[in-house]
Chains A and B, each alone.
Chain A
Amino acid sequence: MYLFIHLCLYSLLLTLYSCRGDEVVYPTIGTHVTDEVREGGLYVLCEGNMGSNKARLDYMNLHSGEYYANWYGSQNPHQLKELGDVGNDIQAYGGRLYAVINCSHKVEVMDRQARHIGQVDIPNCRYLAFKGNKAYVSAYVGSVATPEMLGSVFEVDTATLEITREVKVGHQPDEICIVGETLYAVNSGGYFTNRHDSTVSVIELGGFTETKKITVGSNPQRIRADQSGKLWVCTEQGIAIIEEERVTRRIDAKASNISIYGSTAYIIDSESHLLRAFSTIDFTEQEQHIDISGYEHPYGLLATNDVIYITDAKNYVSSGVLHCYGYDGKEHWSARTGDIPGHLCRVSGAYELHPDTTKPDSTKTCSPYISRVYEYMPAMGQFVNVLPKYEEGDDAEAMCRKCEQAIANNAGGMICLGGWGGYITFGFDHTVENKEGYDLRILGNAFLMSGNETYGSSEPGIVLVSRDENKNGLPDDEWYELKGSLYDNPATKHHVSKTYTRESDTIRNPFHQQPYYPQWIEAESITFTGALLPPTTENISGQNVQRILDFGYADNKPNSDKEGTSFDISWAVDADGQSVSLPCIDFVRIYTAVDEAYEGTGELSTEVSGAIDLHME
């Protein structure tokens, strides 16, 4: 009996000591892997095995030398079942990151810091390419599965994240590549182990139809364009070079991976498991110094201007290793990754972890001041690239952070929206309620002529507000204009658009010699749409001054005029001018509403130096 009691007690103790707890999402902690300081960062997408749900996005901060495992998980702890099952591709484009999660049948769309923005559901999706404001995604199945088991390439609008077009290609398309107005997709035929596909589909982006198929060799999996637009296709019969839509040359090397930088194509030879290099000019093999013969399974590869990154996937079911080499063969550093580190993507910004998740105790105290800048897209202007200052390597995300430094949390700085249309989008750490009377104040740099109430420096900006209706924390919901005093003026033009191009950025005034076109924007042109107010400038005693507008515009009245800088959410109207009643708002957008430029003073541009929730003050 005693024995029985003892055993019972023991088992009771055992259970008490090793109880199941909550499943905690722990934020990643950076591991310092190198003292080397470089620009930007490197994302590492680890595939994880099918069914394990262990696709993992790691981040190497090349500036601090710290490697962050499970960066995505830390940035997005609220994502149900994390990043997903089998990561297959990652690319940065237009201020965002896109990751293909193959067995979760989705493309995950993130900001440059890997914070979730949205997702595009595409069945069995494989690889990405971009052009203009469209993303292209190859997928093993189309939206309608066919008995021939042909795959598709989908076109996705990067603004709405909606599929706009689809084209059927060959069997199990893998990598895709865009040269000019043509998209090339390799048809791997990976489902047919004994008789693979051997073609590359050629798709004209205009009509989005397959115009021809080029036979390249069995089981093509990778396709990359070199500097001169020649395509390198890795097949089981070696590398096929495509020029002018036909195979002009073959290189006798079977490559499991390829990365082209400058005039050199680096490959991982799938037979010898060694790194090899070929000239993209004369296709001869180049001497190279990096020795990867000690790898268990070389896998991911990325050649950059200064270093080359190669991963070792080990036995596929345990952590891999990311190695960084100089081209002289010297290993700079290595870091332990997740399972099957397959896909690498270098970005210009170097990010710190989002504070929300690292802080063990986030006792929230709401601030009356804005806390976050979501978008900063100025139109061309003399203060653009200055307020805030653009530095080499900054991307849109980095510029938003600089705006935050200037104007968020009552910082007292100022940013400039440039000419007509240029805008900024910001928010608070809470939802702003629409109560009786004014709800918001927006600060700028307007001032009055001394001794005059009617004229001064007014560079009016139209204010838009939005509610986070889809609850994703991002300003991608419907916008409502706060109706200002000139809204119903017949001279006000609604629904106007204007395009600025990099080419047209030629005029400089003597005080501002920097480029006026926003330098972090990769696209060659930017188009803005919105309302255009009639000119307000008058020449009074040789000075260009503006008539101060009655109400409802940012940067119109001086900050000392509390009422004149305040706004009521009840002014909101929809696109048709119908009044809407919003109980609260989450985002505010301001854009320059006038299009006037004068010699000497340059263009009128709205400046913003902060905003305040009047109910919190």
Chain B
Amino acid sequence: MALSAHSVIAESETERDSLYSDFRIEEVEVTARSLTKDIIVPQRLKGAELERLNALSVADALRYFSGVQLKDYGGVGGIKTINVRSMGSQHTAVYYNGVQLGNAQNGQVDLGRFSLDNMEEIQLFNGQKSDIFQSAREFGAAGNVYLTTRKPYFKPGERAHVHGKMRFGSFGLANPNVGFDVKLTETMSLTFDAEYVYSNGKYPFRYRRVLPNGETAYDTTAVRQNGDVNAVRAELGIHHYYRTTGFWRVHAYNYYSERGVPGAIVNNVWRNGERLWDRNTFVQAQWQDEWFGRWSTRLLTKYANDYTHYKNNDVRLLPADNEYTQQEVYLSLANKVQVFNWWDFSVAYDFQFNDLHRCNLLSDTVPEYFKRYSHWLSAATAFNIKEYLRIQASVLMTAVDNNKPRVTPGLFLSFRPYPVIDLSLNVFYKQSYRYPTFNDLYYTDLGNANLRPELARQHSIEVAYRKATKMYDIAVTASYYYNRVTDKIIAYPKGQQFRWTMLNLGEVKIHGMDAKADMSFNLPLRFVLRGRLNYTYQKAIDVTNPNDTYYCHQIPYIPWHSGSVVVGLDWQSKRGDHYGLNYSFIYVGERYSQQENIIYNYVQPWYTHDMSIYGEWGIKRWWLKANLEINNMLGQDYEVIQNYPMPKQNIRCTLAVRY
């Protein structure tokens, strides 16, 4: 019986397990095992479910998670970052196949650049990942997004697969993708995936204002300029599994892009002259094995080299032509010992070196150079008390350069009162630091080398329930959380005009509530109905200083209410072809663009209706898929970030083939 992604058991898979599991969800068997083996239940989107969503990039997909606010500057090339549970985007770590993606310069990972084409699974863990067998640094972030790329799968007798995809869409989108998987030996395989994205970014947008009597004050439609993007991605991976316990893999990634930065639309300015070139290259290797059946070891290493070139061609403004080159060297060693069947213990040590060359091409000054050494040491333990209680405790020590090492604890409890009912109560407390970035510390005229790290404390309680029968599968989760961010790093004016500096000034209290439900129903005549609902309430208030006019006001760009609804209907023909219709609705409620919650900073709610229709056909060993998406069906004119208009209706059409 075919069923959806969320019905896959959500246990903490080892790499070993997943080799033999299947990345094609349609073929996964539903198991009756429980989902609550996870002490921290992640939100996840996987395989076919991911494909069904109207999403081009990882950022688009993350909009369907609860507790997540996406900052989107619009268009294919616009920057997209996420903020988990209002703690700030720099408190969220993003991992690519288990290794964190870094940006020591500004601490932000643009998730709009990660294509879904090569993605098998996206998971979001609040707090940290369930499994204590992880690298030390993974204990360090408040929210964690894990991106897992597609793994090769071969049926008996198969030696190679090729796949190709072509996507066209509005605003000149052209997005071809090709790749292949080769079985080199019985235990070793190689995968390759490459993609090109082009969009001219010229989308129409409209600004309309009315007077209180309903008369139009102004109404104008223009076309977004300088929003073009050209990007190439290529990835190569080699996986090798040996004996029954060991495996290693190497993954190389290269991304290159050139894009325009379309900029804010303000009075009398409808075009911007900034251009950006990026290259992100990394090679990462992982090896892991198990000894004596109880001791596991994992070694991770990575070298990353990122290049950014920013140029402002607008002659009216400060000319800028800067190059930034960053390097990262990362090494991690993790060990886990199973002391008893009910007690695990792990220790991990990570080391990382970052540097940044900043070169101003317009001046003859010597390029600036910054570097940083970081060390993490973690110890964690997990134990089960009968079937009822699972506990995970971790402690992380972080030392960055010569700063005083800081220790942050985390404690996670999962209580499952009934052995036969899949109901659990999960509670956690965790502290995490967000370290100042190179920009925070050393940015010309703005950086402040005396910054302390910003501290987030999370308290969370969650109830999860799931029931699966032959006819339906329902999982419901509700959580309440209270977070507190102190020593927040913010830009603050220096004494003189137009000069800013970074300060540890700011304190935010966040009360939030997430509710989510995932369900699927097997209907007669081989129809399957799926639904996914998310609702988030957040009250994130600034409590820095009672004398501020914005004291206890909602912090910028955090809506009180947000949510999404996804409904899909699938039908499978007798010969196994699939047809489906998917509808999704995303709602982001009213919010404010600045600290003060006053009418001048008010930002209206936005909501989009998206729809997709698709068919999948298997013809001998060929597999074909066609997909048509319509986004923002009602053509709402909205902005996620003020003065950055978003596209109206747009379509995408995808044809994919696999052999």
Contacts and interface: CB of A to CB of B under 8 A. Distances in A.
A11 B561 CA distance: 11
Contact of A4 (B214, B495, B531, B593): B531
Contacts of A304: none
Given A51-B266, A79-B218, A19 B212 contact: no
Interface string A57-87: 0000000000001100000011111111100
Contact of A24 (B210, B444, B594, B606): B210
B185 interface: no
Given A53-B643, A79-B218, A11 B211 contact: no
Interface in A76-123: 77-85, 101, 103-106, 119, 121, 123
Nearest to A106: B268
A360 B563 CA distance: 35
A287 interface: no
A4 B212 contact: no
Interface residues of A, number: 74
Given A15-B607, A85-B267, A85-B269, A77 B495 contact: no
A52 B593 contact: yes
Interface in B269-313: 269
A14 interface: yes
A307 interface: no
Nearest to A194: B365
Nearest to B550: A318
Given A11-B533, A101-B268, A141-B316, A77 B211 contact: yes
Given A20-B638, A77-B211, A123-B316, A270 B587 contact: no
A52 B643 contact: yes
Nearest to B535: A11
Q: Which of A80, A145, A316 has the most CB of B within 10 A?
A: A80
A54 B595 CA distance: 14
Nearest to B643: A53
A362 B598 CA distance: 27
A167 to B, nearest CB: 18
A84 B267 contact: yes
Nearest to A254: B496
B266 A24 contact: no
B267 A83 contact: yes
Nearest to B498: A190
Given A7-B533, A21-B604, A319 B549 contact: yes
Contact of B548 (A123, A190, A193, A318): A318
A261 interface: no
A271 B267 CA distance: 35
Interface in A256-288: 256, 270-271, 273
Contact of A123 (B212, B315, B643): B315
Interface in A304-346: 313-319, 336, 338-339
A220 interface: no
A23 interface: yes
Contact of B318 (A20, A78, A84, A191): A191
A589 B95 CA distance: 73
Contact of A7 (B497, B500, B517): B517
B220 A270 contact: no
A405 interface: no
A297 interface: yes
Nearest to B496: A270
A18 B589 contact: yes
B643 A318 contact: no
A316 B549 CA distance: 12
A14 B495 contact: no
B519 interface: yes
A104 B561 contact: no
Contact of B493 (A79, A193, A297): A297
B642 interface: yes
A26 B602 CA distance: 13
A25 interface: yes
A25 B217 contact: yes
Contacts, number: 180
B535 A81 contact: no
A313 B587 contact: no
B10 interface: no
B476 interface: yes
A360 B212 CA distance: 6
B459 to A, nearest CB: 26
A436 interface: no
Given A77-B217, A78-B218, A105 B316 contact: yes
B210 A316 contact: no
A357 interface: yes
A37 interface: no
A54 B606 CA distance: 21
A299 B493 CA distance: 12
A119 B269 CA distance: 14
A53 B267 contact: yes
Contact of B218 (A27, A70, A80): A80
A27 B215 CA distance: 13
Nearest to A12: B565
Contacts of B389: none
B492 A315 contact: yes
Given A11-B563, A18-B561, A25-B210, A149 B595 contact: no
A404 to B, nearest CB: 23
B141 to A, nearest CB: 27
Interface string B499-524: 01000000000000000010101000
Contacts of A336: 549
A3 B218 contact: no
A297 B598 CA distance: 21
Given A3-B476, A336-B549, A360 B268 contact: no
Interface in A384-439: none
Contacts of A362: 213, 215
A56 interface: yes
B600 interface: yes
Nearest to A298: B495
A189 B560 CA distance: 45
Nearest to A124: B316
Contacts of A357: 211
A11 B596 contact: no
B266 A221 contact: no
A8 interface: yes
Q: Which of A25, A51, A145, A338 has the most CB of B within 10 A?
A: A51
Contact of A317 (B268, B315, B594): B594
A30 to B, nearest CB: 15
Interface string A440-452: 0000000000000
Interface in A1-52: 1, 3-4, 7-8, 10-11, 14-15, 18-27, 51-52
A361 interface: yes
Contact of A14 (B207, B318, B563): B563
Contacts of A22: 208-210, 214
Nearest 7 A/B pairs, CB to CB: A84-B267, A123-B316, A145-B315, A85-B266, A53-B266, A81-B267, A104-B268
Given A1-B521, A273-B495, 13 more contacts: A4-B533, A14-B535, A18-B561, A22-B208, A23-B208, A25-B210, A53-B267, A77-B218, A79-B218, A81-B207, A191-B318, A193-B444, A270-B496
Interface of A: 1, 3-4, 7-8, 10-11, 14-15, 18-27, 51-56, 69-70, 77-85, 101, 103-106, 119, 121, 123-124, 140-141, 145, 149, 190-191, 193, 221, 256, 270-271, 273, 297, 299, 313-319, 336, 338-339, 357, 359-362
23 contacts: A7-B533, A14-B587, A23-B604, A24-B209, A52-B642, A52-B643, A54-B600, A56-B600, A77-B218, A79-B218, A80-B207, A80-B220, A82-B267, A85-B266, A119-B268, A124-B317, A140-B318, A141-B316, A145-B319, A297-B495, A316-B500, A318-B548, A362-B215
Interface of B: 207-215, 217-218, 220, 263-269, 315-319, 444-445, 472, 474, 476, 492-493, 495-498, 500, 517, 519, 521, 531, 533, 535, 548-550, 561, 563, 565, 585, 587, 589-590, 593-596, 598-600, 604-607, 636, 638, 642-643
